[in-house]
Amino acid sequence: MLGARDTRRVAWKRCHAHRHYVGYITVGDTSVRLAGLEVGTGIDAALTIPYEAIRAIRVGSDPIEEVVGERSVVLDLTDDDPILVRPVATGRLDLQAFARRLEAGAAA
């Protein structure tokens, strides 16, 4: 992706999906790209979400907004179910900072 400003390992899913994907998020100049593998089925998936399709970016507060049993950052889409994203990292995880990083990409 040209103009990639940030790439990191994440787990992600659509809000009402039962299974999640493990892969990467790439924050670009005009969009956020999610790519990953659903380990149980071996299905690869990729989504490219233009910033204009994202209504809001926030830290989830409801149990339905969890990915692999943990809080996530919610990409509220204008015309579709939200996408839930959780960085995969060791140590302390700052979801507020991750959400701000995604918002900065959308504002640029």
Residue 80 covered by a domain: yes
* Domain total in the chain: 1
How many CA within 13 A on the CB side of residue 107? 8
Residue 40 covered by a domain: yes
pLDDT value of position 24: 96
Residue 1 covered by a domain: no
pLDDT value of position 3: 58
Q: State pLDDT tens for residues 12-69.
A: 999 989 899 999 999 988 999 999 999 999 999 999 999 999 999 999 999 999 999 9
Annotate 37-70 with b (16+ C-beta within 10 A) or e (fewer).
ebeeeeeeeebebebeebeebbebeeeebebeee
For residue 53, what is the domain's CATH number?
Answer: 2.30.29.30
Residue 93 is part of which domain span? Answer: 6-107
Q: Which residues are paired to 75 by β-bridges?
A: 57, 83
Rounded Cα–Cα distance for residues 104 and 108 (Å): 6
Q: State pLDDT tens for residues 55-98.
A: 999 999 999 999 999 999 999 999 999 999 999 977 777 888 88
